Structure 1
Amino acid sequence: MSRAVAALRGALGFCSRVPVGGGEGDWEAFRRAPAAMPAVAYALGGLIALPVVAAALGPVRVPTPTFAAAFPAWIYLVTGITHLDGVADLGDAAVVHGDADRRREVMKDSALGVGGTLALALTVFAVAAAGTVTVDLARLSLVDAVALVVAAEVGAKAATATLVCVGEAPHEGLGSALTGESGPRALGGVALATAPAALFGASALLAGGGAFGTAVSPAATLAAALAVAGVAYAWANARLGGVSGDVLGATNEVARVVGLHAGVIAWTLS
């Protein structure tokens, strides 16, 4: 039990700015337990959903554009901006000409290029846009909106953990520190930690909380996030020679926003 708790503390320290303390032992336990990422994502998703709850239940109606600006700010306050660095580095690598060695060289450069700037701008804009539709959904069905936000965070962490299990790093660094300790057999634990999020919609319906029959929304959110992992895995292997720490960070950020938008689309169509 103490090892599991240490892994969860390590995962929280890696995935967020939540002050959980811990030390080298927690990091080592986390490196050997990728399932800890989706496991702690339920709590992180609940924290991220707090502004959604406040906007829906507050005595003053917050203008949707104002919430759209506050939503990404709150997400990065909770989770930190470390993973956004991966988005920037992959954006630069995606537009450079050359082989995998050249792309990895560009990713190590601390200067932000046009590709990285565009990737960051698109990611933050997409998060803000997701915030607008999420708060509108919350004003119709708060349970559905919170379930969507939590499922998106679980999906993002499950996508990252999946890459940790199946990927191989092209060089020494954060990527190798994580991928080197796990293999495909660890996917079972990741799946077990992720599966409850797919049931959020059904649980809300059974409880009478889901007002519009949205049992499919969390499942669509998770499916979309995991699809991002598949694309990231294929692209990283083809263009970078493997899954680096930057790939893991970028996958987390992109999977979150893709999951949010996919969930809203599924809710709209249900």
Structure 2
Amino acid sequence: MRGALGFLSRLPVGHTEQAWDAFVGTPAAFPLAGYVVGGLVALPFLAAGLLPAPVVTAAYLGSVVLVTGVNHADGLADLGDAAVVHGDPAERRDVMRDTTVGVGAVLALGTVLLALALAALAAAELPPLVAIALVVSAEVGAKLAMATLACIGRPSHEGFGSTVVDGSGPRQLLASLAVAVPAAVVAVPATAAAVLTGPLVALAISGWANRRLGGIGGDAFGAANELARVAALHVGVATWSLFDMPLGDWGVLAWTLS
């Protein structure tokens, strides 16, 4: 858990070799750390209904950067550059190692940031406990996407991807799914849909990376986190709205405790 938080957040924990070794061999630590990260970035939604939705949204975006840093966004940028390159997998991987920021990176980052802001804006219009539940479930779903990649992925080269993938398999994926269950059942079906979006995003990234990059690397994990977060939050908000859940704050709390 400490190693996962050290990698997935800017919290001052988990930076020892022992914590790192334990983390890379335990995919379930990804979604487990998602609860902590999700709880922290969801704090601005305590003010939903008290402050204007755009203010809450801006505070949420700021908390995501403050808590998680830019490491995973860098992976998304690299994958964006690789996506617009015409060439074989080796050429695409070379572009990903280039420190120059290309149009693909700008487009990927800009689109995801805009989509995340719009999803957060919609969540800020919901009852605070509902919004918090959806934000936490989206974060757990994003980390579950990374765990899914670790269990089903095929590494393209030596590096973080191969280190995490080696030794992981279906049993570890089941453990990761089990860890994510509490986040999925808080306000079903919306939170369940948000959590399950993570593995679906991972499957899509894994398939694309196998065809275009020859497998997954560290950048694919970062991109999976960023893409799954925004997709999960949109899916969760949409599901809640479509089913028009009448519970409200106290209803969600009572349902959860029961």
Counterpart in the other structure of 2:11: 18
Counterpart in the other structure of 1:32: 25
Q: Deviations over 1:201-242 (max 9, x none)?
A: 1xxxxxxxxxxxxx2100111122221111111101111011
User: Secondary structure in 1 aligned to 2:100?
Assistant: coil
Q: Deviations over 1:113-170 (max 9, x none)?
A: 0011100111111111111111111xxx222111101100110000110100111211
Give 1:67 shift: 3.0
Q: Give the unaligned 5+ runs of structure 2.
A: 244-258
Counterpart in the other structure of 2:246: none
Match of 1:43 among 33, 36, 46: 36
Q: Distance in 1 between matches of 2:2 and 2:145?
A: 19
User: Secondary structure in 1 aligned to 2:125?
Assistant: helix
Q: Distance in 2 between matches of 1:68 and 1:44?
A: 17
Counterpart in the other structure of 1:238: 211
Q: Deviations over 1:24-58 (max 9, x none)?
A: 000000011010110121121111110011344xx
Q: Is the 8 A contact 1:71 1:127 kept in 2?
A: no
Q: RMSD of aligned C-alpha atoms?
A: 1.2
Q: Distance in 2 between matches of 1:66 and 1:198?
A: 27
Give 1:21 shift: 4.7
Q: Give the unaligned 5+ runs of structure 1.
A: 1-7, 202-214
Counterpart in the other structure of 1:170: 156
Q: Is the 8 A contact 2:190 2:239 kept in 1?
A: yes
Counterpart in the other structure of 1:205: none
Match of 1:254 among 206, 223, 227: 227
1:187 aligns with 2:160: no
1:63 aligns with 2:52: yes
Counterpart in the other structure of 1:103: 92
User: Secondary structure in 2 aligned to 1:171?
Assistant: coil
Give 1:22 shift: 4.2
Moved segments of 4+, more than 4 Å: none
Give 1:65-214 correspondences, 5 Å limit.
65-137=54-126, 141-201=127-187
Give 1:90 shift: 0.5
Distance change in 2, residues 1:143/1:55 (3 Å): closer
User: Secondary structure in 2 aligned to 1:112?
Assistant: coil
Q: Is the 8 A contact 2:30 2:147 kept in 1?
A: yes
User: Secondary structure in 2 aligned to 1:136?
Assistant: coil
Give 1:181 shift: 3.6
Q: Deviations over 1:185-216 (max 9, x none)?
A: 31121111111211111xxxxxxxxxxxxx21
Q: Is the 8 A contact 1:65 1:132 kept in 2?
A: yes
Q: Distance in 2 between matches of 1:22 and 1:94?
A: 32
Q: How many residues align?
A: 243
Q: Distance in 2 between matches of 1:40 and 1:261?
A: 21
Match of 1:226 among 173, 181, 199: 199
